[in-house]
Structure 1
Amino acid sequence: MTEYIALLRGVNVGGITVRSAELKALFESMGFASVRTVLASGNVAFEQVEADDDGRAETSAALKERIERALGERFGYEAWIVLLTRAELARVVEAFPFDAERAGWHPYVLFGSDAAHLAELAAASSDLDEADDVVRAGEGVLYWHNRRERGVDSAFAKVAAKARYKPTTTNRNLRTLAKLLP
Structure 2
Amino acid sequence: MESYAALLRGIMPTNPNMRNEKLRGVLEGLGFDKVASVLTSGNLVFRTGDDPADLEDRIQEALAAELGIPGGTIIRSHRVLRELLDRDPFDGLPHERGSYLTVTFFKHEMREADLSSFDDDPLTRVIGYDRDARAFLTVIDNSTGATPDFMARLEKTYGKDITTRTWLTVQRVVKKMES
Bucket of the pairwise TM-score, normalised by the shorter protein: 0.7 to 0.9
2:154 aligned partner: 160
SS of residue in 1 equivalent to 2:12:
coil
Q: Give the alignment's TM-score, normalised by structure 2.
A: 0.81
Q: May I ask how many residue pairs the two structures share in their alignment? A: 170
Task: Indicate the percent of aligned positions where both proteins have the same amino acid.
Answer: 24
Deviation at 1:15, TM superposition (A): 6.5
User: What aligned pairs does 1:1-182 form with structure 2 within 5 A after superposition?
Assistant: 1-12=1-12, 17-48=17-48, 50=49, 58-98=50-90, 99-101=92-94, 103-104=96-97, 105-116=99-110, 119=112, 121-129=114-122, 132-135=123-126, 136-139=128-131, 140-149=134-143, 153-154=147-148, 156-162=150-156, 165-182=158-175
Q: Is the 8 A contact 1:16 1:77 kept in 2?
A: no
**What is the RMSD computed on CA atoms of the aligned residues?**
2.6
Per the normalisation by structure 1, the TM-score is 0.80
Rate the CA distance shift 1:81–1:2 in 2: closer, same or farther, 3 A.
Answer: same
Alpha-carbon contact 1:107-1:146 (below 8 Å) kept: yes
Extract structure 1 runs of 4+ deviating beyond 4 A. 13-17, 118-121, 155-158
Shift of 1:151: 8.0
Asked whether the 8 Å contact 2:3–2:77 carries over to 1, the reply is yes
SS in 2 for 1:84: strand
Change (3 A) 1:77 1:23: closer
Q: Provide the rounded CA distance (Å) in 2 between the counterparts of 1:124 and 1:17.
A: 35
> Gaps (5+ residues) in structure 1?
51-57
Moved more, 59-68 or 30-39: 59-68
> 1:25 offset after TM fit, Å?
1.6
Deviation at 1:180, TM superposition (A): 1.1
State the Cα deviation string for residues 92-121 of structure 1 (Å, max 9, x = none): 2333422341542211101112435x5464
